[in-house]
Amino acid sequence: MSESSPPVSRTRRVLFGALGLAALCCVGLFASSIAIHTLQQALKTKLDEVPANMLGIQVAQRAHHARHGRFVSAGPHPVPVAEVRGGMHLWTEGSGFDTIGWAPDWQARGTYQVEVSADGSDFIIHGWIDEDEDGEAAHYTATKATDPVKRTPKTVY
């Protein structure tokens, strides 16, 4: 006499099927949240280039002022603000940035401008980037004494 296992009830099959589907949905949600987080981090890394470059411009302005007694206006460079889009822009010679001895290590994702105050005692650095290419550029500013600060809402990339 052979013993056979009792047949699996229909309710049990439906229950295990539903649990499997729920587990699959959880894995999918988890994977999509990881993908979104990874994309956001990649975007943040690209955006961080602008404040980092602005700190370099700030140091170059201070050094130029120490040597020559004046700050230098520059930009917008390498492209006009209206033409800022995602991706890299070729950095070219021929701007006020050459005078202060500053250029990015390679190309630039954003565009930069320096405005010197009327009395020549301070400057404002502007940096713009539109990495998500929605036509609304993120805008940062810094001065002789302040680090770069994002002026546009957190959701503008």
pLDDT tens track for 88-124: 999 999 999 999 999 998 899 999 999 999 999 999 9
Sign of CA dihedral 105, 141, 156, 91: negative
Judge whether 111 and 89 are in contact, CB under 8 Å. yes
Task: Say how many CA atoms lie within 13 Å of 101 toward its Cβ.
Answer: 9
What's the pLDDT band for 125 if we cut at 50, 70, 90?
very high
Q: What is the mean pLDDT of the chain?
A: 85
Measured between alpha carbons, how far is 150 from 137 in angstroms, rounded to an integer? 11
ω into 78 cis (within 30 of 0): yes
Does position 13 have pLDDT exceeding 80, yes or no? no
Percent of the chain with pLDDT over 90: 59
Name beta bridge partners: 123.
Answer: 116
pLDDT at 38: 57
pLDDT at 154: 86
Q: In terms of pLDDT, which residue wins out, 130 or 21?
A: 130
Q: In terms of pLDDT, which residue wins out, 16 or 106?
A: 106
